[in-house]
Structure 1
């Protein structure tokens, strides 16, 4: 089973547990670092995640993952907050974090560039002939529309 397949199966398996605890599943990673495989589950909630939240999710998921036996190799399970620079994975993330500073990388160039830093201004819903797009305010004056399907990655940026 590939790492991508494992991630998708783990997401499907743990989502009901996490949502049942009134938390949000932000992301799942399965990767090798050195000689160790890590399964990382990132969770969040509006007022932030506590260590108790992470421990509770870890215990619940550990039992379920052992019973389902999806991962046949040894691995380390980590459950944590996505951090202040959390990734933006869904349309709802872009709506929720409107007004926040974000860094967006695209698969293709838009107006001559692939990397953008600006404030999330909104989400333009699909209309006939117009795809779903994210509006970003750059340098406090220039608005740019980034087609959602062209976003390779996006993260919140920490402001000081």
Structure 2
């Protein structure tokens, strides 16, 4: 049996391709008594509410046809926001020279989280330049040690 996320991905990808959009992430989570199916979409320059509405309508029809979710749920289609997750190697590669926040499965140099400028991604290794007080430092993080990565907004 295919999972809800896999089925949703199969259903939404043709809709997104047709509209020049990309899939960033899909979540199927329970919050309180309610289930939520969240689909995060984007494109260069960002998505607007009309595009989210269009994808929501078309995906809702496809979900009704295939009925992969037996329980009641809420469908939400939105932009991933300013701190979008970086779920793939391609997403990491596309965000070199941007500020990122990375958590690790195991510590490197005694730390399990880093925030700084992603300066390189080569040979499956991220290089992040970060500051400790006023000193600039660099850390190299093997991709397989990355638990989560996302863009980080700086003020």
- TM value normalised by structure 1: 0.89
Distance in 2, Cα, partners of 1:108 & 1:41: 29
Which position in structure 2 is the counterpart of 1:111? 109
Match of 1:138 among 130, 134, 139: 130
SS in 1 for 2:72: coil
For residue 45 of structure 1, report the CA deviation from its aligned partner: 0.7
For residue 20 of structure 1, report the CA deviation from its aligned partner: 2.0
Q: CA RMSD in A?
A: 1.5
1:157 aligns with 2:152: yes
Match of 2:23 among 22, 25, 35: 25
SS in 2 for 1:141: strand
Q: Structure 2: which 5+ runs fail to align?
A: none
Q: Which moved more, 1:51-60 or 1:10-19?
A: 10-19
Q: Structure 1: which 5+ runs fail to align?
A: 126-131
Contact 1:94 1:122 in 2 (8 A): no
Match of 2:14 among 16, 37, 46: 16
Q: Which runs of 4+ in 1 moved over 6 A?
A: none
Distance in 1, Cα, partners of 2:74 & 2:120: 38
Q: Which moved more, 1:45-54 or 1:10-19?
A: 10-19
- Would you say how many aligned residue pairs link Structure 1 and Structure 2? 152
